Structure 1
Amino acid sequence: MTTARQIKKLVRRTLSSSNELVHLERNVLWHLPIRHVARTIAILRCRNHWFFSLKWFLTGLYMHDAWPTRGLGHYSAEFYRSDYQPNPGGGNLWEWADPSLEEAFFNCVESDVLPLMRSVTCARSAVEYIRASEDRLICFGWDRHVVTSIALGEFDAARALWLPHAAPFVKGKVVSEHYQRTYDRLCELGEPLMADDRAALAALLHRWEAENVRGTALEPYWQPTPFPFEVAA
C-alpha cells in the first residue's frame, strides 16, 4: 500500500526546491497560483503495493461538477519514466523499491510536469489545452464544454451545445443524491444563457467557484479573478 510516509519522502526534495507547489492533501501536490483552474500532481496507489502511478490533473474550480479536494479533476494525463518499466505490460508504473526513485521523480516534475503546468495558468489556456487533446470527449462531456465556453465568452457556441440537452433540466426536480447538486446548477444555467444575460452568468460561475473552494484546504491559496469574457468587456 502507498503510505503517507512514502509520499512525504518522495516529494520532499521537490517541495524544498520549488515555491510553486504545496502539499495540501495526503497524495496530491497543488501548483500555485490557484485561480480559476487547479493544477495538481497525484501519486496514486495501485493494487500491487510495490507500485504507484503518477498523474497530473486540471480542475476547473468554477465548474458545476467540481469537487476540488474530493475528486481528482476534469482532465488527467500520466507521467512515467520511458527508460524504466518495472512492470512490463502492466501499465506505466513507478516502483517504490527503485533506488533512484526520488531522483527520477524530482527530474520528472522539474523537466516535464512543471513546464506543462506553467503553460496552463489561466482558464483560457487550460481549456485550449484540453480541447487539443485526443481524449477530450471522454473526460470532458458536453456540459463541461458549455460551462467552459461561457467562461471564455463563447456564448453562441455555449447555446448551441446547451439546446439539444436542455429539456431534462427542470428546476425543483429531484434526481439521485450524488447528482443533485450538479443537476440543480445546470438548471440555473439555461435561463441566463438563452437570454444572453452575461452579468448573471458571471455571477453564477463566480458563485459556483466560491462554493467549490470555501471550506477546503486550498481556500487560503485561492485567488478569485475575473473570467476572460469579463476582462474583454
Structure 2
Amino acid sequence: MTTIAQVRQAVRPLIQQHSDLASIGRFVMIKPVRHIWRAVFIESTIDPHAFAPRISLSMLIPAKSRGVRGFGQRIFRNIYGPRNIRSSDWDIRQPETIKQMLDMIENEALPKLRTINTFEDYFAFISGFRFPIDYTGHIQYLEVYIPAANGDLELSRKNLERDARILADIKEYRPGFYRALVDGDRFEIARILHEWEAATVTNHKLEKIWERTPFPLEL
C-alpha cells in the first residue's frame, strides 16, 4: 500500500508549480477552501506500488468525518485509449508514469475543479454522476441543505417533506437543524452550518487553507 509520504513526494512538483494547491494527507486541495472542498484524492490500492487518483468534491456541510473522501471520477491512466483492468493504477516506480499522472491532474482535473465555486456549481457537477446505489440519496440531501444555505427555507422545507426517508433521517440525526428549518430560524441555521463546517475542517485538518466565510443565507 502506498504511503502518505510517497503521495506527497509524487505530487510535490505539482504543488510547487501552483500557488493555489496544497498537499493535505492524500489530497491535493485547491485553496482557499470556502464551503466546498475541491481536490484530487490519491488512493492506495492492494498493489503496494500503485496509486489510484480521482477527483474529490464535497461540501463541508453537514459535518464530514475523517474517512469521507468526497465524490468524483477516477483518473484513468489510459483515458485516451482502450480501458483495461489496470487502467486506474499508476506505478510509483516509473517516473514517466507519475509525470503523466500529474499532467492529467493538471490538465484534466484541476481546470474542471476550478470552475466549481458555488453550491449551484457543485450541485450541477454532482448531478451528472452515475453513483453506485449507496449514493443515490445524496442528491435528495443536497436539495435540502443547499436551499437552506442559500436562504430559501421554503424550498428546503418543501424538498424535505416530499421524501419520507430523508425527513426521518434528518429529524433523527440533525434535530437542531430540523427544528430551526421548521421554525424558519435563519440565525440558528447559520450557526449550525458554521458549526458543521468547523467540524469538517478539524476532522480533515484543513485549518491552514480554510477561509470562514458567510453563507448566502446570511447575506
Confirm or deny a common fold (TM above 0.5).
yes
Counterpart Cα distance in 2 of 1:140 and 1:66: 14
Q: TM-score by structure 1 length?
A: 0.78
Is 1:120 the counterpart of 2:116? The answer is yes
> 2:140 is aligned with what amino acid?
W
In structure 2, the CA distance between the partners of 1:141 and 1:15, relative to structure 1 (3 Å rule), is same
Q: How much does 1:84 deviate? A: 6.8
Q: Is the 8 A contact 1:7 1:43 kept in 2?
A: yes
2:53 aligns to what SS in structure 1?
A: strand
Q: Does 2:208 correspond to 1:225? A: no
Q: Deviations over 1:139-175 (max 9, x none)?
A: 725334311231133433321232224356667xxxx
Alignment of 1:160 onto 2:148: no
Q: Secondary structure at the match of 1:53?
A: strand
1:130 to 2:126 alignment: yes
1:95-128 per-residue CA deviation (whole Å, 9 max, x = no partner) reads 3344412321221121111111111123332223
AA at the equivalent of 2:16: S
Which residue number corresponds to residue 140 of structure 2?
142
Partner SS, residue 23 of structure 2: strand
Task: Please list the CA deviations of residues 151-200 of structure 1 after superposition, one character each: whole Å capped at 9, or x if unmatched.
Answer: 133433321232224356667xxxxxxxxxxx2xx111222212222222
Percent pairwise identity: 23
Task: Give the structure 1 partner of residue 59 of structure 2.
Answer: 60
One-letter code aligned to 1:138: T
**Structure 2 gap ranges (5+):** none
Aligned residue runs from structure 1 range 1-233, under 5 A: 1-25=1-25, 27-61=26-60, 63-67=61-65, 69-73=66-70, 75-81=71-77, 82-83=79-80, 88-90=84-86, 92-135=88-131, 138=136, 140=138, 142-163=140-161, 164-165=164-165, 166-167=167-168, 183=173, 186-214=174-202, 217-231=205-219
- Report the CA distance between 1:72 and its aligned residue: 1.0
Stretch of structure 1 that moved more, 202-211 or 28-37:
202-211
Matched letter for residue 218 of structure 1: L
Give yes or no for contact 2:45–2:51 (8 Å, CA) kept in 1.
yes
Q: 1:139 to 1:42 in 2, by over 3 A?
A: farther
Offset at residue 225 of structure 1 (A): 1.0
TM-score by length of 2: 0.83
Letter in 1 for 2:198: A
Cα RMSD (Å)? 2.7
C-alpha deviation, 1:214, in angstroms = 3.9
Q: For the Cα contact (< 8 Å) 1:35–1:122, is it kept in 2?
A: no
Aligned length: 213
- Give, in angstroms, the shift of residue 90 of structure 1: 4.5
The CA distance in 1 between the partners of 2:128 and 2:80, in whole Å, is 27
Question: 1:139 and 1:57 mapped to 2: Cα distance?
Answer: 18
- Counterpart CA distance in 1 for 2:204 and 2:51 is 26
Counterparts of 1:131 and 1:36 in 2: how far apart (Å)? 18
Work out the CA distance in 1 between the residues paired with 2:12 and 2:86: 28
TM-aligned CA distance change 1:20 to 1:139, over 3 Å? farther
Question: C-alpha separation between the residues in 1 aligned to 2:171 and 2:20?
Answer: 43
Q: Which amino acid in 1 is paired with 2:176?
A: E
